[in-house]
Structure 1
Amino acid sequence: MNKLLNSALLIATLAGLVAFVKPQTAPVDHSAYDRLLKKHVNAQGLVDYKGFKADEKAFNAYLDQLSKNPPASSWSKKEQMAYWINAYNAYTIRLILNHYPVKSIKDIGSKIKIPFVTTPWAAKFITIGNEKMSLDNIEHGTLRKQFDDPRIHFALVCASISCPRLRNEAFTADKLDAQLDDQGSDFLNNPAKNKLAKDKAQLSKYFDWYKGDWNDDGQSVVKWVNRYANTKIDANTKITYLDYNWNLNEQ
């Protein structure tokens, strides 16, 4: 009798434990966001914010999906990276819509901009799982910190003209490497973003602001530029940085 009782108690205990184990969530399906990007972003990466506003119900449903399904440890590195890149770009669009119309993302929030404190990127208007987050948290606290891949700087779009092109498709794990490399090629070979000649290069501020990222693991700004640019530079090339155009990336 005792053996039967003990067995029954063990089965009940195990059943209770199983009930309390939270199942690992499947990676987010970004197809809804992909459809919106194809509809409202042109080949140059300019955004039809009025169109996003008209499709706000579908857009908010995608953001809700992101909010309720944070990356799990069972997801691959590429699945997690694709999630966070899409989240950054989508929530940037959400931030613009929250304040639309605006001429620049920098017009949002406090007139006194203290980095990581009062800028639009520091505002904790994002909920991922049970955590309130900012765009800074996604970029600096998650993507740069956890994944150590400078190519993210070619993918994250801060709603400004001098940013990289916003892809009119979602990032996905199966295409992530090709997408990031394509973003790098597009960015380096766009004369509005980088002006290259062998003896003189005017580079995007990204190569100055994130110099530490480009120099990690034996790399350098020159090596990263030459990885994607059709016009090559070398150690003797005089490098300066272009002024950053913060005007809204609107069609």
Structure 2
Amino acid sequence: MKYLSILVLVLFITSCCGTKKTIETQPKSTKDVAIVTETPKNIEISESKNDTDKTTEMVEVVNNNGNTIVEVESYENAKEALENLNAETQNDSVSKKLTFYQNTSKPEGYLHDLFDDLLQKHVSDEGKVDYKGFKNSYNDLVGYIKVLTLLYPELNEFSKEEKLAYWINAYNALTIDLIIRNYPLESIKDIKDPWDQRLWKFGNKWQNLNDIEHSILRNMDEPRIHFAIVCASESCPKLQNKAFTASNLEEQLTNATQEFISDTSKNELSKDRIKLSKIFKWFAKDFKQNGSLIDFLNQYSEVTISNNAKKSFKDYSWDLND
């Protein structure tokens, strides 16, 4: 809805000690996520002439798998629901993380802050991923994915840049989620049909990674997405340790592309001979939208490559990028 502001409150409750009760409606866990949507009081929003445009408050209590356990009408009711669902403890450690998304003409701002925090905690500057750390922060990841699914109905109002940032971050977050669901493992290929598993519901559709990459992102006429989305493998582009945002997208995509092309473990470039990542073979047509593959490479390479350069491809490692 136009002029709708969504405040997403992710509440993590950790049971520190005490006795536990078994709740049949949810798996045993020490953490749960409450997602709250309401209009922030400190943000000015244009008044709507239509009563149907007014924001109503809704609270969902969600378990570790992202499944809604109960919906209530206020944050206080959410806390009460969590207390009823969780074990009674003598000491509860409560930490709160606030982020909000303001959907006016430019949906931007804090939408991807939660994912940004996770990436900075668990991904090195070299793109090495601490999946054990992500596993320990799994509720945060589930909370972020839940935020994305809540915002999915608003996508038609997003700009192209906002949609690209949304789906790039979604692909990377869902890939991490897939790895965590099957961790420990040595390769994403240890998982049966990893790119075809429909584990995440956006609107009325259960999405898989193949759909997001091939049916959504590749149809947005932006070949540099291939250096932003990461398949959790050594020969993939490195996972950036900052979330993509619409306001920084051009710079982020350019940097990711330059970084990948100049990485000698991925590509070996000289004027007359190039040995490339197989990404350039698998998605060759995506890089020929405005000229040849060499033309594309020369936009981002420090080496000027001859149009007659001999071309070959490097072996691709599917070892986990940890």
Q: TM-score, normalised by structure 2?
A: 0.66
Distance of 2:198 and 2:166 partners within structure 1: 18
Show CA shifts across 1:98-129 (max 9, x none). 100110001101xxxxxxxxx31111112112
Mapped pair 1:210 → 2:292? no
Show CA shifts across 1:149-175 (max 9, x none). 101011010000001111000000000
Mapped pair 1:39 → 2:114? no
Q: For residues 85-234 of structure 1, what are the structure 2 equivalents within 5 Å?
A: 85-109=168-192, 119-145=193-219, 147-216=220-289, 218-234=290-306
CA change 1:205–1:21 in 2 (3 A) is farther
Distance of 1:219 and 1:155 partners within structure 2: 22
Secondary structure of the structure 2 residue equivalent to 1:72: helix
AA of the residue aligned to 1:108: I
Specify the alignment match of 2:84 in structure 1.
none
AA of the residue aligned to 1:166: L
Q: TM-score, normalised by structure 1?
A: 0.84
Mapped pair 1:30 → 2:112? yes
AA of the residue aligned to 1:197: S
Distance of 2:227 and 2:133 partners within structure 1: 25
Name structure 1 gaps, 5 residues minimum.
1-16, 110-118
Name structure 2 gaps, 5 residues minimum.
1-49, 57-101
Secondary structure of the structure 2 residue equivalent to 1:86: helix
Show CA shifts across 1:185-227 (max 9, x none). 10000000101111211001011100111112x3221011111
Mapped pair 1:238 → 2:310? yes
* Residue 19 (structure 1) shift: 3.3
Structure that is richer in strand per residue: 2
Show CA shifts across 1:80-107 (max 9, x none). 1100000000100000001001100011
AA of the residue aligned to 1:140: H
The RMSD of aligned alpha carbons is 2.1
Specify the alignment match of 2:42 in structure 1.
none
Distance of 2:51 and 2:294 partners within structure 1: 54
Distance of 1:215 and 1:194 partners within structure 2: 18
* Residue 132 (structure 1) shift: 0.5
Secondary structure of the structure 1 residue equivalent to 2:156: coil
CA contact (8 A) 1:69 1:129 kept: no
AA of the residue aligned to 1:42: S
Runs of 4+ in 1 over 6 A off after TM superposition: 20-23
AA of the residue aligned to 1:153: H
Distance of 1:18 and 1:211 partners within structure 2: 51
* Residue 18 (structure 1) shift: 5.6
Specify the alignment match of 1:54 in structure 2.
136
Percent identity of paired positions between Structure 1 and Structure 2: 44
Secondary structure of the structure 2 residue equivalent to 1:163: coil
Distance of 1:87 and 1:222 partners within structure 2: 30
Secondary structure of the structure 1 residue equivalent to 2:206: strand
Distance of 2:190 and 2:225 partners within structure 1: 25
